[in-house]
Amino acid sequence: MKVKIDKVDYHVEMCGNGNPLVLLHGFTGDSSTWTSFCPVWGSHSQLVMPDIIGHGKTDSPEAIERYRIERAASDIKHLLDKIGLEQIDLLGYSMGGRLALTFAVQFPERVRKLILESASPGLESQEERLERQLKDGELAQFIMEQGIAKFVDYWENIPLFSSLDNLPDTVKEKIRSQRLSNCSKGLANSLLGMGTGSQPSWWQELNRLTCEALLITGGKDKKFCNIAEQMQKRIKNSKWMIINGCGHAIHVEDKEKFGTIISDFLNKGGVSFDS
């Protein structure tokens, strides 16, 4: 369905019944990231799966300001208001994890449980943020000049996603096809407005979170394991789980285990740490 938020048409998929679970995909993704989990999570949760601004079938406006991560989080709030949902469970992956954390910081009363897969609170120092902004700007320019196909060729081969090489060809082709369905302007503007360098650092806000939180990282993803270790120390009511054998995209690399972990956390509040 389409929901208009401040002149932007958001595309949203929904399935299942129960306590609402809002699912936020990563950069270059869309709501189809999560649809295969409908039979698993839909048995206990009402899944709400928006295409984040600049992605999928949601609009890609020209104004960079429209993509700021605080503005995107506000859009999610207004989306929930229009659908008629008050308190939610919230799961975000990578870029979607940064957006989920931003939402939880800005609207803590709306979040019952928070799940962050391979996510970060941003960069702590201004120097780091400025350096990353330059890199994100160069990548955005590459997308606009070279086009979506060449960008996807590049994106598929960055070290962060090296563990996806082990997936069956059919799965890799499905991921590639979905990435190619995005538009250059939406992805470029997302990097400029919502990139890691552009977002505020939420490190100092982590100790204010009171909802129950689960951090999930892949054992091969050392960078995000280090980030999660530091986050877990600051978030009072949090657990951290490492999935051995996986890299950044755990929900793709070990879908069955990921699905079970999320169900256990949402239904029981506990997860098994024997992975």
Residue-level pLDDT at 268: 81
Residue-level pLDDT at 23: 98
What's the pTM? 0.96
CATH superfamily of 2-124+200-268: Alpha/Beta hydrolase fold, catalytic domain (3.40.50.1820)
Of 77, 59, 57, 58, the closest CA to residue 69 belongs to 77
Average pLDDT per consecutive 10 residues, the chain (275 residues; last block may be shorter): 96 97 98 97 98 98 97 98 97 98 98 98 95 97 97 95 94 96 98 96 96 97 98 96 97 97 87 45
End-to-end CA distance of the chain: 38
Strand order in the sheet with 88-93: 2-5, 8-15, 45-50, 19-24, 88-93, 111-117, 212-218, 238-243
